[in-house]
Structure 1
Amino acid sequence: MQIDLMQEARRQAEVCNACRYCEGYCSVFPSLHAQRAFSDGDITQLANLCHNCRGCYYACQYTAPHEFDLNLPKALAEVRRDSWESFAWPQPLAQRFHTQGGAIALALVIGFAFMFLAIRVIRSDGGQGFYAVLSHNAMVAIFAPAFLLPLISVVVGLNRYWRTVGGKPIKWADLKVALNHTGKMQDLAAGYGEGCNFEDEDRFSQARRHVHHTIMYGFLLCFASTSVATVMHYGFGMHAPYGFWSLPKLFGVTGGVLLTIGCGAMALLKQKSDRDLGDPSAWGGDIGFILLLGFVGLSGLVLYAMGSTQMMPALLAVHLGSVLTFFLLMPFAKMAHGFYRLAALIRDAQRKRVASV
């Protein structure tokens, strides 16, 4: 990890530890105030607990032009991004995609090209709907590695993170607390439930919390759609295409709508936000990945709406290309924050449980 980023975050954390004005703002400050000195692992844990709500910045009396020049949201955002890059495997890919939206766009173009080529070369041996263009076996052969390899990469990165922050064997009670925290997006309520100061300076707003909920549940519904369809195909011999009132379609369409709306709203919120209170170098990469995720949802909806037209093969290639790009970039782009924040919340639950004994 970059030493200068770690040292600056440590300096600011020590000032905050002495002040303690923001103790009730989010999960970061109770964890911060439980320490007297901060190791690199402690700072990494604090950085991944932080949801960048920015409430502490606007409440702080030691921001510029004060000589302490505190900007804790930015300091933790920079350490957080650096930790994802350091723990990722293979590392060079993370350093490329976390900061450059152009690289994400290039990967998307390559994904499109690959899918168009696959549809042209790997001819379907018959089937209905989408399988008339690209067979089920061909889709499995393409997307199974594209899902499993990034998943292995995520597991490697999380294992490195867990060792760095001193994580202990996970108990169900700790996981339950963390999942409950995540499901409610509790830290995006900030302070005393008033919301974030993300997009409108010192005005509190719940917009970012609601948008995160929309994206998260949209993604989970899309994943549930694919999972249910897989069970129906292999477990019950019920093959696609499925009707609108089937679970795969209901989950998929609803998830696609939520994903499209949520990602569009998140991109607008980021446009309104102050880049100097986050990690400016990662702004392009964040926007690029948000737009990619939104495009996955939108292209899926368009494909569903126009699946019976002559445009279906081209639309299928575009949608599958975006999905392929999403999976391949998942460990190396903004999506990583979901995995690391859940791990940070589990570690924080462990700390609280031990402290209460």
Structure 2
Amino acid sequence: MQTLQALTRDAAELAQGRPVAMTPAEEEVARAMQICNACRYCEGFCAVFPAMTRRLEFPKADVNFLANLCHNCGACLHACQYAPPHEFAINIPKAMAEVRGDTYAEYAWPPSFGKLYRNNGLTLAAALAIGLALFLVTAVALHGGMGALWSHDTAGNFYNLFPHNLLVGMFAPVFLFVVFALSMATRNFWKQIKPATSGMDVSAPAAAEATHDVLRMKYLDGGAGQGCPNEDDAYTLARRRMHHFTFYGFMLCFAATALGTVYHYVFGMAAPYDLPSLPKVLGAVGGASLMLGTAGLWRLNLRRAPDHGDLKQKPMDLGFIALLFFVAASGIALWLGRSTPAMALLLCLHLGAVMALFLTLPYGKFAHGVFRTAALLRHATEKRQPHPIGLGSD
């Protein structure tokens, strides 16, 4: 029965024009899963292992699904009796991370842009943010002279420098492209993994469970609620907490921007806003949370043991973390200094960071959250179906 399902998935891949042949990274995950499926010591650690037990073979679509279901907590590596230096050399976090990096590029839209994932590192992020900020500084200087960059005349109102419609014209097309590109990438990924995960449409209970797991970041608890093992083999909830600060800080900042748009177009209340207005409260709390979370993730990323992931992706990870931190820090600095002569420079720095973040979102680390959400939705749907090996539903 399992072989028939694998052949069906291979046929679906061919029909979609995707190669069935697996990459070396995907073959390594398939090899490791065969061994793990015989052991099953880690079955209660996270969603990967219950999903694994529903399979006897691991074709490309199944491997891509499992890799994006993995949260890279590292608990299975520390518990594994077959980890290096054992001759089986099982390292699930590293193998899964390598496949995840490949899936971001493989399912990217447009396809030719997939190579950007391999070049989207810390240097590019910094150069893009600084370059865009310098471009805006130059634009201000050409329009109002060098004095406009440090002036009481422009302080207090952003639109003295950049009219509202100009800002909308700059950021709206980029934002819409980001949403469309990520939607298309997720669609490509979904079409690949849906036949491999029961093929059933998502039900309301499955969607509710997946949403709960995403918002709580359930699978960063190490399986027993102790958290992820760190470089000293001690368990800690630091990664989960820093991810929470970062995620909810980002969402609060996004909510502040969205609410500001409603204030502007619906109520005719133009920015900037001040305390105790709701956009400012959301932005201030979100910015502080985002700074705290990204600073913590930066420290944890630099200290993490090399065996816990794919070292080739570290520049991309750090670039994304740095951009998020710089967006939050420059936004807080702009708020605190907007009534001073430094407002023009602070605004250029903040807008440059925001634009750089937008431009890199579809082809950077942000994709892991989108793909992981899709994988959790498919897992929540699959586990409600009869077990294909005759063990009932999960």
TM-score scaled by structure 1? 0.94
Counterpart in the other structure of 1:82? 102
CA distance in 2, matches of 1:208, 1:252: 23
Contact 1:26 1:187 in 2 (8 A): yes
Which one-letter code corresponds to 1:16 in the other structure? C
User: Which is higher, the Rg of structure 1 or of structure 2?
Assistant: 2
Residues 220, 98 of structure 1: CA spacing in aligned structure 2 closer, same or farther, 3 A cutoff? farther
Q: Does 1:257 align with 2:288?
A: yes
State the shift of 1:133 in Å: 1.2
Equivalent residue of 1:109, what SS? helix
Which one-letter code corresponds to 1:339 in the other structure? V
Counterpart in the other structure of 1:15? 35
Q: Does 1:30 align with 2:50?
A: yes
CA distance in 1, matches of 2:232, 2:335: 40
Which one-letter code corresponds to 2:260 in the other structure? A
CA distance in 2, matches of 1:58, 1:231: 49
Counterpart in the other structure of 1:343? 374
CA distance in 2, matches of 1:235, 1:206: 42
Counterpart in the other structure of 1:320? 351
Residues 55-78 of structure 1: per-residue CA shift (max 9 Å, x gap):
000000001111101111100000
CA distance in 1, matches of 2:204, 2:131: 42
- The number of aligned residues is 355
Equivalent residue of 1:34, what SS? coil
State the shift of 1:120 in Å: 4.9
Counterpart in the other structure of 1:182? 214
Equivalent positions of 1:63-212 (< 5 A) are 63-98=83-118, 100-120=121-141, 129-166=157-194, 168-197=200-229, 199-212=230-243
Residues 221-272 of structure 1: per-residue CA shift (max 9 Å, x gap):
0000001111111111111121210011000011000101110110000111
Greater CA drift, 128-137 or 266-275? 128-137
Equivalent residue of 1:354, what SS? coil
CA distance in 2, matches of 1:109, 1:242: 26
Equivalent residue of 2:384, what SS? helix
State the shift of 1:97 in Å: 3.9
Counterpart in the other structure of 1:295? 326
Which one-letter code corresponds to 2:123 in the other structure? G
CA distance in 1, matches of 2:28, 2:48: 17
CA distance in 1, matches of 2:231, 2:155: 52
Equivalent residue of 2:233, what SS? coil
Which one-letter code corresponds to 1:301 in the other structure? I
State the shift of 1:10 in Å: 0.6
CA distance in 2, matches of 1:304, 1:4: 49
State the shift of 1:184 in Å: 1.1
Contact 1:259 1:294 in 2 (8 A): yes
CA distance in 2, matches of 1:306, 1:263: 22
Contact 1:188 1:208 in 2 (8 A): yes
Q: Does 1:53 align with 2:73?
A: yes
Counterpart in the other structure of 2:3? none
CA distance in 2, matches of 1:243, 1:264: 26
TM-score scaled by structure 2? 0.86
Counterpart in the other structure of 1:39? 59
Equivalent residue of 1:187, what SS? helix
Which one-letter code corresponds to 1:188 in the other structure? L
Contact 1:263 1:294 in 2 (8 A): yes
CA distance in 1, matches of 2:303, 2:274: 41
Contact 2:104 2:117 in 1 (8 A): no
Structure 2: 5+ residue stretches without partners: 1-18, 149-153, 387-392
Which one-letter code corresponds to 2:162 in the other structure? L
State the shift of 1:300 in Å: 0.3
Structure 1: 5+ residue stretches without partners: none
Residues 143, 279 of structure 1: CA spacing in aligned structure 2 closer, same or farther, 3 A cutoff? same
Contact 1:96 1:103 in 2 (8 A): no
Greater CA drift, 101-110 or 88-97? 88-97
CA distance in 1, matches of 2:131, 2:204: 42
Tell me the C-alpha RMSD between the 2 structures: 2.0
CA distance in 1, matches of 2:117, 2:134: 19
Which one-letter code corresponds to 1:64 in the other structure? P
Contact 1:127 1:135 in 2 (8 A): no
Equivalent residue of 2:83, what SS? coil
Instruction: Pick from 270, 295, 308 the counterpart of residue 301 of structure 2.
Output: 270
